[in-house]
Amino acid sequence: MKMTGAQIIMECLVREGVELVFGIPGGSTLPFYDAFRHYPQIRHILVKHEQGAAHAADAYARVTGKVGVCCATSGPGATNLVTGIANAWMDSVPMVAITGQVVTWLIGRDGFQEADTTGITLPITKANWLVLQADDLARTVKEAFHIARTGRPGPVLIDVPRDVFIQEAEFEYPETVDLPGFRPTLDGHPAQIRKAAQLIAESEKPLILAGHGVKISRAFEELKELAEKAHIPVITTLLGISGFPGSHPLCMGMPGMHGMYWNNLAIGQADLLIAIGMRFDDRVTGALKDFAPHARVIHIDIDPAEIGKNVKPTVPIVGDVKRVLAALNPLVKEKRHDEWLAWIRKVREEHPSIAIPDNDELLPQYVVKKIYELSGGQGYVVTGVGQHQMWAAQYFWNDKPNSFVTSGGLGPMGFEVPAAMGVQFAHPKELVWSICGDGGFQMTMQELAAIVEHELPIKFAILNNSFLGMVRQWQEMFYGNRVFATREFGPDYVKLAEAFGLMGLRVTERKQVEGAIHLALTHPGPVLIDFQVKPDECVYPMVPPGASLSETIDQPPVEAKPTPRREKVKAK
């Protein structure tokens, strides 16, 4: 059957089960948008900035396991997607980005709104295509979805010139994909799995390091079985949080730069690390030369390139985490490690790491902890990047699988608002908290308009310290307290909320916190709370950049540093 290029893409999206497309139309994609009218089963969400479209599609994909789809026009539309695509690339999130391109006869002539989109996105996509004839569209879209979701997931991009959207071609959706160069290994090597079981049986001080791979492959039950059967403490990386129940007695929280002191010490003592779907990021390992000096390492990952990239494993296992664990668990012997756990518990009691002082100050940690408690561990939490993210990671010990959504590898400020939108679209009836920093919030807050338009009842909590807090913390600690260019001028967030059509609340004292959270939880619509927290609070524990895990600073030094006070910067 003859169809236009635009119709062919829409037909493909329907067959791939796409329900939502986040995007903004433009000159080059107009023929594509014209085809949406005939496909009511696919909703288009008009965002306010393409970065928002990519982050929303990204978060939607993280919590559903489906492929997130975003769309932008040529040139500036496509370049605005780049941050969101890079974020999905670093965190292995399945995403298909469809971009418009100038007409084929203008390509390479610096046409209006032309950018070399496939060139720009080449290092941050698993694959990308510039499709020059409508005949190739169906196969390209089929391959795109297959590549995005297969093996280690990631973003792909399809660049379509305006005339190719209009061109007619015979539509036939390919049944199969034939990519000889793309056949990821899913099952672990049986001999390696036997070796791993052997190492686990021999180990006295084992630790599991659970990463994003556990959540991506939905291996929650398999991980729990392994941990319980062999009695092994589970440390969850930033992206691994909510891959293992936070209330489980074997859950130890996060390791690394702002991880729990006890974990960093335990890694130094361990004789076996079972790294599952994690990639030994520098924020986890600290200085590599001193990382886990006594440990043998079992590394399970679907991407062979991750094996041995940073840490050389004793037993490498390439494969899908869920399948590998399912094969490993029956070979693992039941065992107890009471002495080892008692040792960790002792360190934990001596260095509580995340205890909150009992005073009147409005501490950001207190706010995060209260949100966690009062939400009853229900629902989803989304964060941006910075101090507030680390506090959220320290205090949200979620039980609900895959309910902690944050950006790990790339770390773009401004993830929190559009990502919360993506999560709420995926789960319209669930509670979604967006923990925001005042810096990142101002980068993408325009998406509040889309959120109100679609009546998404997201609860935004801005931990407002009037600083780019994490950068300020580094200036204080490592740049001789020379605080420069990190003091934020923020708007009146309550008025801002009201302007967008949200309920706005302001909290300036500790005693108001619970009331405000209660109000937000009972209000049916979106709410924004401006928590004006202590401005100079720093994130601890901390491993200084370049230092080893054994050098973790558990608590701030006692000698008082000169305190930068909150000074209202007046608008001129």
Partner 1 sequence: MTKNTKHTIVALVENKPGVLNRIASKWRQRGFNIESLAVGHSEIPGLSRMTFVLGGPAADVEQVTKQLYKVVDVVKISDLTEEEIVTRELALIKVNATDQNRGAIIEIVDIFRGEIVDVSPDSVVVEITGTEDKVDAAFEMLRPYGIRELARTGRVAVTRGRATSTLELESAGERKYRPAGQGKPRVGSLL
Site for partner 1, rule CB under 8 A: 118-119, 122-123, 126-127, 130, 139, 147, 178-182, 303-305, 307-309
In the bound complex, what is the minimum distance in angstroms from residue 146's beta carbon to partner 1? 10
In the bound complex, what is the minimum distance in angstroms from residue 449's beta carbon to partner 1? 37
In the bound complex, what is the minimum distance in angstroms from residue 558's beta carbon to partner 1? 43
User: What residues contact residue 18 under an 8 Å CB cut-off, 6+ apart?
Assistant: 42, 66, 67, 69
Q: Between the CA of residue 136 and those of 165, 169, 349, 421, what are the distances in Å? A: 12, 9, 62, 33
In the bound complex, what is the minimum distance in angstroms from residue 461's beta carbon to partner 1? 38
Q: For residue 265, give the 3-state DSSP assignment.
A: helix
Q: For residue 550, give the 3-state DSSP assignment.
A: helix
For residues 278 and 533, which CB has a smaller minimum distance to partner 1 in the complex? 278
In the bound complex, what is the minimum distance in angstroms from residue 412's beta carbon to partner 1? 19
Q: For residue 329, give the 3-state DSSP assignment.
A: helix
Q: 59, 418 in Cβ contact below 8 A?
A: yes
In the bound complex, what is the minimum distance in angstroms from residue 138's beta carbon to partner 1? 11
For residues 118 and 242, which CB has a smaller minimum distance to partner 1 in the complex? 118
- Per the DSSP assignment, residues forming a β-bridge with 530 are 462, 506
For residues 186 and 449, which CB has a smaller minimum distance to partner 1 in the complex? 186
Q: 535, 465 in Cβ contact below 8 A?
A: yes
In the bound complex, what is the minimum distance in angstroms from residue 127's beta carbon to partner 1? 5
Q: How many residues does the chain have?
A: 572
Q: How far is CA 153 from the centre of its chain?
A: 13
For residues 59 and 147, which CB has a smaller minimum distance to partner 1 in the complex? 147
In the bound complex, what is the minimum distance in angstroms from residue 310's beta carbon to partner 1? 10
CB burial readout 70-105, b (16+ within 10 A) else e:
bbbbbbebbbbbbbbbbbbbbbbbbbbbbbbbbbbe
In the bound complex, what is the minimum distance in angstroms from residue 36's beta carbon to partner 1? 29
For residues 144 and 423, which CB has a smaller minimum distance to partner 1 in the complex? 144
Q: Which two tokens stand for residue 215?
A: 């959540």
For residues 308 and 515, which CB has a smaller minimum distance to partner 1 in the complex? 308
For residues 294 and 309, which CB has a smaller minimum distance to partner 1 in the complex? 309
Distance, first Cα to last Cα, the chain? 63
In the bound complex, what is the minimum distance in angstroms from residue 167's beta carbon to partner 1? 18
For residues 307 and 505, which CB has a smaller minimum distance to partner 1 in the complex? 307
Q: Strand 2-4 to strand 168-170: parallel, antiparallel, or no bridges (unpaired)?
A: antiparallel
Q: Which two tokens stand for residue 273?
A: 């690390």
CB burial readout 198-210, b (16+ within 10 A) else e:
ebbeebebbbbbb
The arrangement of strands across the sheet holding 459-464 comes to: 404-405, 380-383, 432-437, 459-464, 527-532, 503-507
Cα separation, 307 vs 261, whole angstroms:
27
- Residue 565: what residue type? R
For residues 60 and 145, which CB has a smaller minimum distance to partner 1 in the complex? 145
For residues 101 and 203, which CB has a smaller minimum distance to partner 1 in the complex? 101
